Amino acid sequence: MKKLISLLALTLLVLSGLTACTSTPKTIKIGLNLELTGEVSVYGVPEKKAAELAVAEINKAGGIDGKQVELVIYDNAYDTAKAVENSQKLIQEGVVAILGSATSAPTMAIGPVALESEVLTITPSGTNAKVTMNGDVVNPFVFRACFIDPFQGLVLANFASDNLSAKKAVVMGSNSSDYAKDLASIFTTQFTANGGEVLSDVFYYADSDTDFSAQLTSIAALGEFDVLFVADYAARAGLIINQARATAGLETVAIVGPDGFESPDLNDLAGGASNVNNVYFSTHFSTIVDNAKVTSFIAAYTASAGEAPSALSALAYDAMYMLFAAIDAAGTDPVKVRDAMKATTGFEGVTGTISFDALNNPVKSAIVVQLTNGEQTNAVIVNP
Amino acid sequence: MTQFIQQLINGLSIGSVYALIALGYTMVYGIIKLINFAHGDIFMFGAYVGMVAITTFKLNFFAALIVAMAVTALFGVIIERVAYKPLRKSSKTAALITAIGVSFLIQNGTQLIMGANIYAFPQIIANQYFDVYGVRINLLQLVIFFTSIILMFILQFIVKKTKLGRAMRSVAVDKDASVLMGVNVDNTITITFAIGSALAAAAGIMVGLYYIKIYPFMGFAPGLKAFVAAVFGGIGIIPGAMIGGFAIGLIETLVAGYGSTLYKDAVVYGILILILIVKPSGLLGKNVKEKV
């Protein structure tokens, strides 16, 4: 009898010891290192809200492998030193991976920390090409959920060829920014590869120009063409749209441009919404795209955040779900999570279908939005 | 050929803007021999006043034009009284450097008050166009062109036919003798600044309407071009500023249309250098005594 009691006691002891053991890693910690205050908090705050939504959803569905996900949130205030400190703190607290930062500069600062401590960081929206690089080689522990700027040139060329059935295009762009120059050259290469013809060389202008009438008159004199590609931001693209619509021969030609077109000022700068017809631009995310996943995301985000989602929230939401998938596949060892992340293929997110290339940049579809009378009237998904 | 004529029209529209700004440069230079480098910024100031008049006070085009011209004229007078008048007896270099300082002050002051971001000028004149034998002419291009021509004739009339104009010309020729003849030199100079600034405000509103984008540093490049235009036509001569403005606009447009936009500024400033070497008095600069 005594033996039995002691055996029972031992069993209880062992069992309690077992429960004590399993109780510590019951949650999976994911760190957020975002700009929640300061001049670019408009980027960080929606990304935090999206991450919280993703975590709430996965926990409600039973967590990952039966474990609940816990967010550890630090604000870096768009300060590179603070961002580094945050990442170090998060890694000490045992996070499996880090989401951040929203903009390129802090993300570049935390890249070396991620590499050194072998905990991956994924930026939802840092578009600088150098973000995923460590010098000349790729930083294996930094990923991003958004496409980089030049990639849009490729997508837009495909859009012009396939969706607009364009055969001839003319390219304009500012010669003062790499953004414009890269986009112009990649669009030209891809459009030509698609069997199209780019009339004349790129029509370059200076950032300070406001009068494009001379160039537009020369462009109109090239003869009929299908697409005018304007590689620039709204500040000049708006003026070009306005002046093109007043140029004989260019009143209705399709004008296509990158995400720089996406600005609340575009219609005003184009001389009124009535000038903004047959204008298309690429973007990461659109609320009017016809996709069940996007629709349910919009509803859930609007309910939890109290506002409609932006591209930033959509990208952060996808980044979180990619992390969940990687953790689901690899467990909680940060290095294995990184390997699983790298192996992501055909991930279905709200911003497109995502895989990673050799430089940890996503190969994904982009959204091309059509503007009619200044309103977003149609959005299509274009694959690279 | 159609394309060439179209480019000429494009050139005349931008040239009208340069001409309007150049008139202000040339008047001030004609009277006190000061190159008012803040003039381009006064033009920018006029555009902002026009925008505020239209958006905040809901004025129509002509009311906004008049208000902007009046407010900017007052602004020009204040600048003259505060910054230039105390230096009238000092060296020309001192006044010139002050003008550059005033230019920076206006640019950065505007940036401080209105912010560095760009504004879209309200489009209160709906743009229409007419096709004449395949050449497209915009309503706004016509408005700009004829406004500048009309203002030039009014100015020419004031200078040649009125008592005020006679006072201006006499101050231009000999300040001290004018005082002896009973001309109020200070008032004459002040009025010159007022008129020059009002013209710059008109140009600012035209540019706002036609090119839409306005921002604190918008006056810098057109100001320099207008200065080149004034020198080209013969600085101090009113029709010269007009001709210089149109010439610079045309040259710039033809270079952009048939060469590359990226060279157009180089060509314009190259012309300035050529003129200063070959004919420093400018295209119409023969009669030195007739300056205003």
Q: Is residue B69 part of a domain?
A: yes
- Same domain for A63 and A87: yes
pLDDT above 50 (res A132) = yes
Q: Is residue A339 part of a domain?
A: yes
Set of chain A residues whose Cβ sits within 8 Å of the Cβ of B11: 214
- Same domain for A162 and A143: no
Residue A115 to residue A146: CA distance in whole angstroms: 20
Does A211 contact B10 at a Cβ distance shorter than 8 Å? yes
Q: Chain A, 183-222: which have a CB under 8 Å from a chain B CB?
A: 203-206, 208-211, 213-215, 217-218, 220-221
Does A210 contact B118 at a Cβ distance shorter than 8 Å? no
pLDDT of residue B288: 52
pLDDT of residue A3: 62
Per-residue pLDDT of A216-245, as tens digits, reads 999 998 989 999 999 988 889 999 999 999
pLDDT of residue A352: 87
Set of chain B residues whose Cβ sits within 8 Å of the Cβ of A235: 118, 213
Set of chain A residues whose Cβ sits within 8 Å of the Cβ of B265: 206
A223 touches chain B (CB under 8 A): no
Nearest CB partner across the interface for A265, out of B120, B138, B258? B120
- Give B253's pLDDT tier (boundaries 50, 70, 90): very high
Q: Which domain holds residue A182?
A: 151-283
Q: Which site among A174, A200, A212, A217 would you substitute to test the B interface, given the most B Cβ atoms closer than 10 Å to its Cβ?
A: A217
Query: CB–CB of A183/A153 below 8 Å?
Result: yes
- Same domain for A306 and A225: no
- Same domain for A119 and A32: yes
Set of chain B residues whose Cβ sits within 8 Å of the Cβ of A217: 3, 6-7, 10, 257
pLDDT of residue A228: 95
Q: Is residue A9 part of a domain?
A: no
Q: Is residue B264 part of a domain?
A: no
User: How far off is chain B from A45, nearest CA to CA, in Å?
Assistant: 23
- Same domain for A173 and A277: yes
- Same domain for A331 and A254: no
In this structure, is the dihedral angle defined by the CA atoms of residues B178, B179, B184 and B185, taken in order, positive or negative?
A: positive
Q: Which domain holds residue B58?
A: 2-219
pLDDT above 60 (res B278) = yes
pLDDT above 80 (res A12) = no
User: How far off is chain A from B273, nearest CA to CA, in Å?
Assistant: 22
Does A238 contact B213 at a Cβ distance shorter than 8 Å? yes
Q: Is residue A84 part of a domain?
A: yes
Across A103-107, A214-218, B172-176, least confident range: B172-176
Domain CATH for A64: 3.40.50.2300
- Same domain for A67 and A138: yes
Domain closes at, from A261, A283, A305? A283
CA dihedral A310, A316, A317, A320 (to 10 degrees): 180
Q: Chain A, 361-380: which have a CB under 8 Å from a chain B CB?
A: none
Nearest CB partner across the interface for B120, out of A215, A217, A269? A269
Does A246 contact B254 at a Cβ distance shorter than 8 Å? no
Q: How many domains does chain B have?
A: 1
What ipTM goes with this model?
Answer: 0.84
Q: Is residue A178 part of a domain?
A: yes
Q: How many domains does chain A have?
A: 2
- Same domain for A279 and A155: yes
A215 to chain B: closest CA residue: B257
Average pLDDT over residues A166-180: 89
Q: Is residue A342 part of a domain?
A: yes
Top-ranked range on mean pLDDT: pick from A9-23, A25-39, A69-83 = A69-83
Task: Supply B254's token pair.
Answer: 């033809």
Per-residue pLDDT of A243-261, as tens digits, reads 999 888 898 999 999 988 8
Set of chain A residues whose Cβ sits within 8 Å of the Cβ of B249: none
Q: Is residue A304 part of a domain?
A: yes
- Same domain for A232 and A131: no
Per-residue pLDDT of B60-119, as tens digits, reads 988 999 999 999 999 999 999 999 989 888 888 898 899 999 999 999 999 999 887 888
Per-residue pLDDT of A287-297, as tens digits, reads 888 888 999 99
- Same domain for A208 and A96: no
Q: Which site among B2, B5, B136, B255 would you substitute to test the A interface, given the most A Cβ atoms closer than 10 Å to its Cβ?
A: B136
